[in-house]
Amino acid sequence: MLLDVAAVLTASLALGAGGALVAPAAESSHSANASVGTSFNGSVDGSLSGRSTTRVSDRQDGAQSMPLWLANPNTYGTAVDIDMAALREASGMELLAGLSQLPLGDIRSFVTNSAVTIDAILAAPPAPATVNRWWDQLDSGSRADLLAGAPQLVGNLDGIGFRERGRANERLLGDALQTVGESGRDPSVLNRIAEALRENGGPKRSLIYLDPADGGKAAIAIGNPDAADYIGYLVPGMNYGVQEQMVNWTLTADALYAEQTAILRELGQKARVAMIAWIGYETPDLLSVGGSDNAQFGADALESSWLGIRSSRESDQPFVTVYAHSYGSTAALIALARGSVTVDAMVMVGSPGSEVQSADELRVQGGNVFVGEADWDPAVNSAFFGSDPGSPSYGARSLGVSGAKDRVTGQWLGGSIGHNEYFAEGSESLHNMALAGTDNAALMTDGAQTPDSSTAAGHQGHRR
């Protein structure tokens, strides 16, 4: 069965282009992957080997000695003498607190001369809630200096607001493109990210995560996740590398953003939407798709990213929905079963399952776990990784994907066939996903209808 599923996934890769915070008492987070490699000082493809052995939900605070600048958090953004030798040996919050006391020139010098230290903190960062508390205590001048002098930290530490992360990563991307151009290295990964950021008259796009090492990892937000009422996370499966699929995955996120916006407008609901095209882990290929290692790394990164949203939004919590396709659902299921963070809805399509045996094991509010299964999709019902989310015993709710009338407009919504049509514009599947993501699941259709001539004609397009 695995080879059948993998062959189909490999054959057609293009998808549809055309909560309460439970914060860990953690000093340190986890590694999002085995290599981070965010040193931009002339070595774009450098990386670190190994990863943190403990995930976010397992970390515990430990008593340890600390320097003056960390012992007194109220000194953030004020003049404190920094022992530069000690700072070079620091890690975690000691390092961040120390850096925040330096003037811009010294921050730049430290980052240039301590690339391994910077990579290390990104490989095993402090917990997002801890980062958020530190960032909130900084004055505007200290934040501006860190953004200008250490953009790889500001852009990629979960717990910092997305507007500032986007600004930092776009600065980082520009610097990396210049460095690659001067060194003669292959710029393909960076060029694809830059291409995916082009708005072409659409909503604002921002680069909220960037790691160009090896095949690259990145996340692009559509809309404003710092203020959105509804935030969607698109988690891809097999063979979804940044170079090959970042542009397409961002277009898919844009289609779902447009569908949610249209639904809210039709229902007269005034709310803001943001969508995140997330390729924040190394997705498996045909040789590695049979194992769960990539899914475990993906779960680490998702767990931290969701905790980052919950931390940075503080008392103004958004409705967070996870849209996970194929192997991406395996990673998302693992993350949501760990218990450190809650989302408001989860939609799985084309899922080969996971070790999680029931929707009750997932930290998803109100039982909002939805499963879409198209005809001729070999991944569904396979239970390849240990469970079948579409089985009645799993306890998830069915997401119609085979075609139906929109309950509000009466327009015909097309059906999806096979593994890669779930995100097709104008489809029942995409429409139902958007309803789930705007807390309008009561209006979802069940895929049991047949089109008639009066409704099917002329109603297959998406609604911009």
Give the pLDDT score at 362: 97
Residue type at 238 in one-letter notation = M
The answer, yes or no, to whether residue 99 has pLDDT greater than 80, is yes
Instruction: Using alpha carbons, select from 356, 345, 341 the residue that is nearest to residue 303.
Output: 341
The answer, yes or no, to whether residue 62 has pLDDT greater than 90, is no
Higher pLDDT, 48 or 317: 317
236 and 328 in contact (C-beta within 8 Å)? yes
Lowest pLDDT segment from 167-176, 223-232, 451-460: 451-460
Give the pLDDT score at 214: 83
Alpha-carbon distance 457 to 231, whole Å?
A: 33
The answer, yes or no, to whether residue 132 has pLDDT greater than 70, is yes
- Give the mean pLDDT of 388-404: 94
Q: What percent of the chain has pLDDT over 70?
A: 79
pLDDT per residue as tens digits for the range 140-185: 999 999 999 999 999 999 999 999 999 999 999 999 999 887 777 8
197 pLDDT band (50/70/90 cuts)? Answer: very high
Compute the CA torsion angle 254, 259, 260, 266 (nearest 10 deg): 150
Name the token pair of 232. Answer: 């969607």
Domain residue spans in the chain? 2-60+70-75+83-456
Give the pLDDT score at 449: 64
Mean pLDDT, the chain, rounded, equals 83
Give the pLDDT score at 419: 93
Alpha-carbon distance 210 to 459, whole Å?
A: 39
Q: What percent of the chain has pLDDT over 90?
A: 69
Lowest pLDDT segment from 36-45, 218-227, 368-377, 420-429: 36-45
Query: CATH number of 2-60+70-75+83-456: 3.40.109.10, 3.40.50.300, 3.30.413.10, 3.40.50.1820?
Result: 3.40.50.1820
350 and 13 in contact (C-beta within 8 Å)? no
Alpha-carbon distance 170 to 392, whole Å?
A: 46
pLDDT per residue as tens digits for the range 272-306: 999 999 999 999 888 888 888 999 999 999 999 99
Instruction: State the CB neighbour count (10 A cutoff) for residue 134.
Output: 20
First to last CA, the chain: 39
pLDDT per residue as tens digits for the range 22-49: 333 334 444 443 333 344 443 343 332 2
Higher pLDDT, 77 or 122: 122
Torsion region of 343: left, alpha or beta (phi above 0 gives left; psi -120 to 50 gives alpha): beta
The answer, yes or no, to whether residue 75 has pLDDT greater than 70, is no
Give the pLDDT score at 52: 37
Give the pLDDT score at 286: 82
- Give the mean pLDDT of 126-138: 97
